[in-house]
């Protein structure tokens, strides 16, 4: 959806710039062929293909190929792509030695440590401002950095929890290898299936906050390390990718089914946002949440019954106390339930999100660099009228 037509007309008439609404809600700021979210229909897609169908039926590498190379792969292309990308999982020379210091300064699974490490890894593989290198090289680096991110994330976690790092295995799929590097054990089929569904569902999602961030940074010509560390920073916030562990904190705080109604009512009445509920675009249930709910049930997660009770209670209370806002469970609500049942520790939920969303960031950045114009909007100045008189007390220093 683009800016309302009357906004353009009034801006021409008054020569005042168009004032976008807070949070750029309902404003289109770019054109894309990567993905889209149809919020009223509860539907989203990757390059036109139903993303939930891809997640149900495909492999992570299918979606990755679609996003970075533009089409779903044939069987031969998938095999070749899987071989190519699994060979890129090793950390570049020099990076592994730095990880213990980074891990020591931050907690297990912290996105702060991941965004620091990925910036160094990008330098180590030779990422430069994309304006100073060929687009083919930028594409190759985008694939390599996406392949490296799970290795960085897993090794930082192992180090932060006092364990030996586990090197990646090229013979395992993306999801199985990720679990293996974190737990040190080859994962079972169910856990791999569950984590792969989660990763595929969360690759991209329209012009979400971190994707927008990645494109803004890329639009200045900056290198992929700057792009990814900035995007991870955006993802880490509780209104975006930082929510799933907080959903667990909320479930823990509620404690028992009897306490759900009073606890949630008190939180909403005191202006708190319930973690895992609400979405800027969806005004229906989030389709990612629906598939993750199914996966959680298939895993026979201990938490799923309690989570279902909390979801039902929260949706009813939100309808009562926030009528007309259409607030339902979002992707984060069942994400943690699935990831925990698959063997991932709570601290790793948000970092795991980064390991899939990096593919979406890279697809968006490759699109941005093909037809770039630097993002440079305006802000309406609302401070004291200028120019102001300098105050008498101010004695400027000599330049």
Ligand X SMILES: CC(C)(COP(=O)(O)OP(=O)(O)OC[C@H]1O[C@@H](n2cnc3c(N)ncnc32)[C@H](O)[C@@H]1OP(=O)(O)O)[C@@H](O)C(=O)NCCC(=O)NCCS
- Give the interface with ligand X as residue ranges (CB under 6 A): 23, 239, 243, 268, 273-280, 322, 325, 327, 330-332
Q: CA 63, 237, 126 angle in degrees (round to 5)?
A: 55
Half-sphere exposure of 114 (CA within 13 A, CB side): 34
CB nearer to ligand X: pick between 37 and 359: 37
CB nearer to ligand X: pick between 82 and 330: 330
DSSP string, 17-86: PP-PPGGGTT------SSEEEETTTTEEEETTEEHHHHHHHS-HHHHHHHHHHSSPPPHHHHHHHHHHHH
We find the least distance from the C-beta atom of residue 320 to ligand X, in angstroms, to be 12
We find the least distance from the C-beta atom of residue 134 to ligand X, in angstroms, to be 36
Catalytic residue check, 385: no
Point out the catalytic residue in the list 61, 196, 311, 332. Answer: 332
Please give the order of strands across the beta sheet that includes 35-38: 35-38, 43-46, 49-50
CB nearer to ligand X: pick between 114 and 243: 243
In degrees and rounded to multiples of 5, residue 207 shows phi and psi of -95, 55
We find the least distance from the C-beta atom of residue 166 to ligand X, in angstroms, to be 30
CB nearer to ligand X: pick between 12 and 253: 253
CB nearer to ligand X: pick between 230 and 276: 276
Q: How far apart are CA 360 and CA 36, in angstroms?
A: 12
We find the least distance from the C-beta atom of residue 229 to ligand X, in angstroms, to be 21
We find the least distance from the C-beta atom of residue 259 to ligand X, in angstroms, to be 17
For the chain, the straight-line distance linking the first and the last C-alpha, in angstroms and rounded, comes to: 50
Quickly list H helices, the chain: 5-14, 51-57, 60-69, 75-86, 99-104, 111-124, 135-160, 174-183, 189-201, 209-219, 224-235, 243-254, 257-269, 287-298, 304-321, 331-341, 349-370
Q: Are strands 49-50 and 35-38 parallel, antiparallel or unpaired?
A: unpaired
Measured from each CB, the residue nearest to ligand X is 278
We find the least distance from the C-beta atom of residue 208 to ligand X, in angstroms, to be 8
CB nearer to ligand X: pick between 9 and 25: 25
Q: How far apart are CA 81 and CA 67, in angstroms?
A: 12
Place of tokens 């990422």: 127
CB nearer to ligand X: pick between 265 and 309: 265
Point out the catalytic residue in the list 45, 65, 205, 279. Answer: 279
Q: How far is CA 253 from CA 93, 166, 250, 262, in A?
A: 44, 34, 5, 12
We find the least distance from the C-beta atom of residue 329 to ligand X, in angstroms, to be 9
146-162: b or e for each residue (b if 16 or more CB lie within 10 Å)?
bbbbbbbbbbbbbbbee
Catalytic residue check, 279: yes
Active-site residue numbers?
279, 332
């Amino acid at each position: 959806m683009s800016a309302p037509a009357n906004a353009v007309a009034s801006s021409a008439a008054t020569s005042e710039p168009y004032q976008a609404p807070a949070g750029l809600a309902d404003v289109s700021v770019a054109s894309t062929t990567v993905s889209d979210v149809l919020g009223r229909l509860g539907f989203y897609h990757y390059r036109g293909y139903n993303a939930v169908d891809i997640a149900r039926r495909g492999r992570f590498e299918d979606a990755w190929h679609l996003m970075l190379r533009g089409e779903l792969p044939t069987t031969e292309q998938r095999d070749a792509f899987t071989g190519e990308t699994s060979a890129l999982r090793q950390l570049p020379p020099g990076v592994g030695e730095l990880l213990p210091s980074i891990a020591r300064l931050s907690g297990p699974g912290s996105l702060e440590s991941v965004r620091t490490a990925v910036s160094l890894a990008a330098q180590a593989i030779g990422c430069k401002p994309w304006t100073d290198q060929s687009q083919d090289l930028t594409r190759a680096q985008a694939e390599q950095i996406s392949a490296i991110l799970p290795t960085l994330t897993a090794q930082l976690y192992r180090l932060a929890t006092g364990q030996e790092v586990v090197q990646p295995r090229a013979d395992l799929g993306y999801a199985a290898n990720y679990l293996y590097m974190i737990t040190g054990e080859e994962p079972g089929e169910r856990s791999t299936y569950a984590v792969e569904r989660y990763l595929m569902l969360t690759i991209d999602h329209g012009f979400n906050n971190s994707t927008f961030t990645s494109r803004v940074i890329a639009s200045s010509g900056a290198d992929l390390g700057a792009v990814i560390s900035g995007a991870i920073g955006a993802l880490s916030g509780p209104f975006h990718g930082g929510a799933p562990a907080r959903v667990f904190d909320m479930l823990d705080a509620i404690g028992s089914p009897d306490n759900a109604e009073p606890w949630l009512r008190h939180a909403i009445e005191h202006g708190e946002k319930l973690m895992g509920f609400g979405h800027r675009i969806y005004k229906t249930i989030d389709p990612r949440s629906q598939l993750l709910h199914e996966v959680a049930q298939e895993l026979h997660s201990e938490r799923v019954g309690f989570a279902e009770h909390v979801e039902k209670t929260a949706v009813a209370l939100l309808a009562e106390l926030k009528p007309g806002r259409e607030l339902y469970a979002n992707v984060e609500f069942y994400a943690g339930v699935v990831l925990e049942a698959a063997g991932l520790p709570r601290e790793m939920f948000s970092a795991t999100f980064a390991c899939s969303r990096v593919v979406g960031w890279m697809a968006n950045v490759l699109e941005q660099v093909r037809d770039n114009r630097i993002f440079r909007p305006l802000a309406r100045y609302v401070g004291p009228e200028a120019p102001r008189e300098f105050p008498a007390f101010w004695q400027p220093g000599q330049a």
